[in-house]
Amino acid sequence: MKRISLPLLFALALPCAPALAGDDISKVNGSITAEAGQRYGDLDTVNGSIKVADGAVTGSIETVNGGITLAERVRAEGVSTVNGSVRIGRDAVIDGNVETVNGSIFADRGTQIEGNLETVNGSIGLVETRLRNAIETVNGDITVGVGSQVQGGITVRKANFSLSLTPGRKPRVIIGPNAVVHGPLQFEREVTLYVHRSAQIGPVSGAKALPFDTDSAPQD
């Protein structure tokens, strides 16, 4: 009879043990917490939030009904939710896209995102963040905040009534102090566009840029 090794016996005896470094964590109902400084594979759940503590490294992070919160110095391959917001702490590195349908996206100082930022019904906010590609939304406000750099452009799509929850709302797009958007700013629907006098932007279509030189944009 073939012998079974002791390590395999222990693995079989502990099916609910915490994931080892680099392991995937997958659930249907329940939240996921990645511990500080640890290394994980993909993190995914259907009904639950996902929290990643300081300095953790993960594969892709995905949920359907739940928010995603990344603490400081996190590294992840990509971040995606359908009904939930995404908050990214300082000095994080995201190697892919950051996406949500119904929820906001915020990235704090020192963060680098190598993919796109996309929402349908949710605001997008950057503070001293570098985005390699582009920003796209339908109904969300966009703030490219102080010192942020967007290598691609910005697109606000025309509302699709089968997807949009608030088709009548006019989004606000703010390009803040010392921010840079290298690509084109394309607006397929009416928006209010404010651009700080110290900012740099690419060509604009579908809107008129309104200059401002205060710390924050005027209220409509």
Lowest pLDDT segment from 15-24, 27-36, 87-96 = 15-24
Number of structural domains (the chain) is 2
78-80 vs 98-99, strand pairing mode: parallel
Same domain, 100 and 131: no
What is the per-residue pLDDT across 157-168, written as a single tens digit (0 to 9) for each? 998 765 545 556
Residue 172 β-bridge partners: 192
Side-chain half-sphere exposure of 96, counting CA atoms within 13 A? 11
Which among 125, 159, 118 is positioned nearest to 139, based on CA atoms? 159
Considering the domain boundaries, does residue 82 fall inside one?
yes
CA 55 – CA 38 distance, rounded (Å) = 7
Considering the domain boundaries, does residue 24 fall inside one?
no
pTM: 0.87
What is the per-residue pLDDT across 106-162, written as a single tens digit (0 to 9) for each? 999 999 999 999 999 999 999 999 999 999 999 999 999 999 999 999 999 998 765
Considering the domain boundaries, does residue 8 fall inside one?
no
Same domain, 99 and 125: no
CA 86 – CA 98 distance, rounded (Å) = 8
* Helix (H) or strand (E) run with residue 8 in it: helix 6-13
Same domain, 70 and 121: no
Same domain, 130 and 214: yes
User: Euclidean distance between the first and final Cα of the chain, in Å?
Assistant: 79
Considering the domain boundaries, does residue 77 fall inside one?
yes
Rg for the chain, CA atoms, rounded: 20
- Reported confidence tier of residue 37, pLDDT bands at 50, 70, 90: very high
Considering the domain boundaries, does residue 59 fall inside one?
yes
At 28, list the tokens. 């249907």
Same domain, 126 and 95: no
Question: Range of 43's domain?
Answer: 30-104
Same domain, 147 and 86: no
Considering the domain boundaries, does residue 111 fall inside one?
no
* Helix (H) or strand (E) run with residue 144 in it: strand 142-144
